[in-house]
Amino acid sequence: MKIPPVKGTRDFYPAEMAVRNWIIDGWKKVSVRNGFEEYDGPIFEYLKMFQIKSGDEIVEQLFSLQDRGGRDLALRPEITPTLARMVNQRINSLPKPIKWFSVPRLFRAERPQKGRLREFFQWNIDIIGVDDVLADAEVIFCAVDYFRDIGLGTDDIVVKISSREMLAALLQAIGIVENELELLYAVLDKRSRLPDDTFEQMLVERIADENKREKIIELMCVDSIEQIGDCLELNKTAQESVDELGRLFELLGVMGVGDYCVFDIGIVRGLAYYTGIVFEIYDKASELRAIGGGGRYDNLLKQFGGPAIPATGFGIGDCVLGILLEEKGLLQKQLPERNLDYFVACVDESYKDAAVKVTMRLRSACFAANFSYKAAKLNKQLKQASDQNANKCIIVGDELKEDKLVIKDMTTGEQELIDFDKFFAELK
């Protein structure tokens, strides 16, 4: 019986695994140089943890299960609730600000499509305990720092930024009441992915008043921060969040990443816990789903039973990123090749044990080394050495009787006779 892989999952053969490792190694390197420390949590949590504040969309996509004691659990669709839980647990002893990163394996029962799967990896960067837009700028910088590192420039990607706080104030000025906001965010978040008439129909279902709907549509068409004031009179909260956005763009300029960033009032975010600056990262051509997204979530730790502590961060997935890198031809150029330091060949069966012994000594000296399982013809073994990308091939043969080995440089093809003991004594 042949069993296929589960829908929406990936098998990582060595070639795919090399890509995954290269992406994740890059995330980790950039996190560390930006001053973040790594953390992780369990792959499953209590189901209710994701029902508190993640929003309907994520709750509908949960992979849930019951343990033997009848407790309701779920595979994690994101790590932010786990982060909030972990930080709350040690809130008094953790030095602040907290700058943590993680690369969790996540699960969402989405409809599999280009860039969206049911199991994926996500780079998370979060700063907890800083109530300053400088922290929001810093997390955006980290994302761009990584993209620049891997060769994605301003022609390739764009960070679209807005503010939930500002949007809330503007929508309230239009007459939307507080408890309508969350439902409205979910529709506004989907707007760019929906045909106009579907969007308008969804709006009708939530907002009965036609004037209000027209005002919302007009507001969502604004394409600069300055234009907002032309569309609506700004109240104090709206003005403050507009000023905060202005300061954010100023800081991004200071950090040298302003060219990657634009204001986009259509960025609302699907998750329910965001409270301030929000952003999403897209391919410049807008052909793919979001590469990443994040923002400020100042109430989440409190909602999880902790104190009121401000927080900001992002998540960037590996799927769309991988597609984009492939499309731009940036993967093959940068992927490190599999490299073997030595391949150890033997001229015939009688030298096989000696070849095994040489290999193990090389490995114990921290070199990547392989040998041939069969004492096949030397040519075949050399082919194996070159298939495995070996830098050098050691040939064990009659020379061993005089305590010597043959070393072949696989790039130049040059062969050299070396002294067995001297070779191992000099190995670094």
Cα distance between residue 344 and residue 264, in whole Å: 59
Stretch that binds ligand HAM, among 188-196, 201-209, 310-318, 402-410 (CB under 6 A): 310-318
417 burial class (0-12, 13-18, 19+ CB within 10 angstroms)? exposed
The residue within the footprint of ligand HAM, chosen from 317, 324, 362, 390 (CB under 6 A), is 317
Cα distance between residue 159 and residue 259, in whole Å: 9
Question: What binding mask, one character per residue, do residues 26-65 give for ligand HAM by CB under 6 A, x or -?
Answer: ----------------------------------------
**Would you count residue 108 as binding ligand HAM (CB under 6 A)?**
yes
Tokens 């495995």 map to which residue?
A: 388
**Would you count residue 110 as binding ligand HAM (CB under 6 A)?**
yes
338 touches 156 (CB < 8 A): no
Question: What binding mask, one character per residue, do residues 267-306 give for ligand HAM by CB under 6 A, x or -?
Answer: ----x------------------xxxxx------------
388 touches 414 (CB < 8 A): no
Other Cβ atoms closer than 10 A to 63:
15
Sign, CA dihedral 16-22-26-29, equals: positive
Stretch that binds ligand HAM, among 194-202, 313-321, 325-333, 355-363 (CB under 6 A): 313-321
Q: At what angle do helices 210-220 and 164-174 cross, to 10 degrees?
A: 150
User: What is the total count of residues that contact ligand HAM (CB under 6 A)?
Assistant: 23
> In terms of CB distance, is 31 or 384 closer to ligand HAM?
31
Tokens 């990584």 map to which residue?
A: 146
The residue within the footprint of ligand HAM, chosen from 314, 343, 351, 371 (CB under 6 A), is 314
Residue 102 to residues 27, 29, 177, 190, 348, Cα–Cα distance (Å): 9, 12, 37, 27, 50
The residue within the footprint of ligand HAM, chosen from 124, 163, 372, 381 (CB under 6 A), is 124
The residue within the footprint of ligand HAM, chosen from 313, 324, 347, 355 (CB under 6 A), is 313
> In terms of CB distance, is 157 or 396 closer to ligand HAM?
157
Cα distance between residue 161 and residue 166, in whole Å: 12
CB of residue 95 to ligand HAM, shortest distance in Å: 20
CB of residue 229 to ligand HAM, shortest distance in Å: 29
325 burial class (0-12, 13-18, 19+ CB within 10 angstroms)? buried
Alpha helices by DSSP H, listed for 101-222, are 133-149, 164-174, 178-190, 196-206, 210-220
CB of residue 117 to ligand HAM, shortest distance in Å: 4
**Would you count residue 228 as binding ligand HAM (CB under 6 A)?**
no
Stretch that binds ligand HAM, among 21-29, 113-121, 130-138, 338-346 (CB under 6 A): 113-121
- Residue 152's SS3 state is coil
CB of residue 311 to ligand HAM, shortest distance in Å: 8
What would the DSSP string read from start to end of 339-394? Answer: -EEEEEEESSGGGHHHHHHHHHHHHHTT--EEE-SS---HHHHHHHHHHTTEEEEE
Query: Which residues in 153-192 are b (16+ Cβ under 10 Å) and which e?
Result: eeebbbbbbbbbbbbbbbbbbbebeeeebeebbbbbbebb
CB of residue 339 to ligand HAM, shortest distance in Å: 30
What would the DSSP string read from start to end of 87-105? Answer: HHHTTTTS-SSEEEEE--E
**Would you count residue 10 as binding ligand HAM (CB under 6 A)?**
no
CB of residue 194 to ligand HAM, shortest distance in Å: 17
> In terms of CB distance, is 303 or 370 closer to ligand HAM?
303
Stretch that binds ligand HAM, among 38-46, 140-148, 255-263, 316-324 (CB under 6 A): 316-324
CB of residue 37 to ligand HAM, shortest distance in Å: 15
Other Cβ atoms closer than 10 A to 213:
16
The amino acid sitting at 228 is: I
CB of residue 254 to ligand HAM, shortest distance in Å: 23
**Would you count residue 99 as binding ligand HAM (CB under 6 A)?**
no
Stretch that binds ligand HAM, among 45-53, 67-75, 308-316, 347-355 (CB under 6 A): 308-316
- Please compute, for residue 320, the number of CA atoms within 13 A of its CA located in the half-sphere on the CB side: 24
> In terms of CB distance, is 215 or 296 closer to ligand HAM?
296
> In terms of CB distance, is 140 or 393 closer to ligand HAM?
140
- Please compute, for residue 211, the number of CA atoms within 13 A of its CA located in the half-sphere on the CB side: 4
Where along the sequence are the contacts to ligand HAM (CB under 6 A)? 78, 80, 108, 110, 116-117, 120, 122, 124, 126, 271, 290-294, 313-317, 319-320
